[in-house]
Amino acid sequence: MDSSSSEIAHDFFPMARLYKDGRLERLRGTATVPPSLDPETSVESKDVVFSTEPNLSARLYIPKSATLHSQKLPLLIYFHGGGFIIESAFSPTYHAHLNTLVAEANVIAVSVDYRLAPEHPLPAAYDDSWAALKWVAAHSDGNGPEDWLNRYADLQKVFLAGDSCGANIAHHMAVRVGKEENHGKPYVALDGIILVHPYFWGKDPIVEEASYVAFRSMIDALWRFSCPGSSGLDDPLINVCGDSSCLARLRCRRVLVCVAERDGFRQSGVEYCEKVRRSEWGGVVEMMESEGENHVFHLLDPTREAVGPLLKTIVDFISQDHDP
């Protein structure tokens, strides 16, 4: 047996391991569950295809209230995390999280399943996410291909959200909405974006990041692995704070950034808030911090006491009065 088949080139624990022969072993995020009528939240879900070339799907969620009242509900487009290499919109983790979030926030949700690296290196995930957003936009006149969106979703109140690399995607989609138009109008009426423990980084350490030697090394390797054509950690796809003019192009009224005290990405999230506030964007930035918690703790252990305040912050952000 070739010794390279068992020699580890990069250990992305707890997500995956890359072996010297190029094989990727995913350590988590490979299980899936079917859509359902969730008995605890009464949230109903189903899977839909939003692209045939390539073949891409999303999971749609509606709360029970959507079918009981004539008023349409805000739409949340969600991008899952996983370092661009693991997880899916159909995993038990995200299915449970979206059921809870949809019930608490009383929204319609589209959970996007994008292609993963290394089989599909970046920018595939960004391209797939943009395709999903354009598919949603096709329902703006109430005559799109998906009945749930036509009947229940308020396309004048749209939110983008995600955790970790999904938060990274949500940011870039909000910028792209500000750059690309559909017949002279934005593709979606984007009210706000919700970035939970965003996967932002940069070549130059920020404050305490300089001491995160092992973490920086892993992020550098992970980024180059998922985006082999990248210039490295100065790539604007991950170093989103490097270009203030890009931040100013966010096409939304409000931004919520959630950070965790013990998260290696915390400082980048804080800097993002500060630079967005100082940019020419002109919207409202909110930030909340979960003390004593680590990266995506709310997904790893939904029973933790700190999950409640985090979820409430997100729900309150969505529920704010839509009037300017």
> 127 lies in a domain?
yes
Task: List the single range of 41-45, 86-90, 209-213, 239-243 with lowest mean pLDDT.
Answer: 209-213
The pLDDT tens digits of the residues spanning 242-272 come to 888 889 889 999 999 999 999 999 999 999 9
> 271 lies in a domain?
yes
Residue listed under structure tokens 């180059």: 224
Q: Do 13 and 110 share a structural domain?
A: no
Q: Do 214 and 193 share a structural domain?
A: yes
Encoding tokens for residue 246? Answer: 């890009």
> 243 lies in a domain?
yes
- Distance separating alpha carbons of residues 199 and 76, to the nearest angstrom: 20
> 222 lies in a domain?
yes
| CATH number of 133's domain | 3.40.50.1820
Q: pLDDT-derived band of residue 205, with 50, 70 and 90 as boundaries?
A: low
pLDDT the model gives residue 181: 79
Domain span at residue 43?
36-318
The count of structural domains within the chain is 2
Q: In 3D, which of 255, 259, 279, 278 has the Cα closest to residue 268?
A: 259
pLDDT the model gives residue 322: 44
Q: pLDDT-derived band of residue 26, with 50, 70 and 90 as boundaries?
A: very high
Q: Do 152 and 6 share a structural domain?
A: no
Cβ atoms of 106 and 63 closer than 8 Å: yes
- The 3-class secondary structure across 166-219, one letter per residue, is HHHHHHHHHHHHHHCEECCEECCCEEEEEEECCCCCCCCCCHHHHHCHHHHHHH
Q: Do 119 and 232 share a structural domain?
A: yes
Cβ atoms of 19 and 8 closer than 8 Å: yes
> 70 lies in a domain?
yes
Q: Do 133 and 113 share a structural domain?
A: yes
pLDDT the model gives residue 1: 45
> 175 lies in a domain?
yes
Q: Do 287 and 198 share a structural domain?
A: yes
**Secondary structure letter of residue 57 according to DSSP:** E
Residues catalogued as catalytic? 164, 263, 295
Collapse the DSSP code of 255 into the 3-class scheme (helix H, G, I; strand E, B; otherwise coil) and give the result: strand
* Dihedral sign (CA 170, 299, 58, 218): positive
Sequence-separated (6 or more) residues with CB below 8 Å from residue 39 = none
Q: Do 46 and 10 share a structural domain?
A: no
pLDDT the model gives residue 209: 61
Q: Do 234 and 118 share a structural domain?
A: yes
Q: Do 68 and 194 share a structural domain?
A: yes
Q: Do 49 and 25 share a structural domain?
A: no
> 324 lies in a domain?
no
> 323 lies in a domain?
no
Cβ atoms of 108 and 247 closer than 8 Å: no
Q: Do 25 and 122 share a structural domain?
A: no
Q: Do 102 and 10 share a structural domain?
A: no
Cβ atoms of 218 and 12 closer than 8 Å: yes
Q: pLDDT-derived band of residue 197, with 50, 70 and 90 as boundaries?
A: very high
Average pLDDT of the residues in 141-159: 96
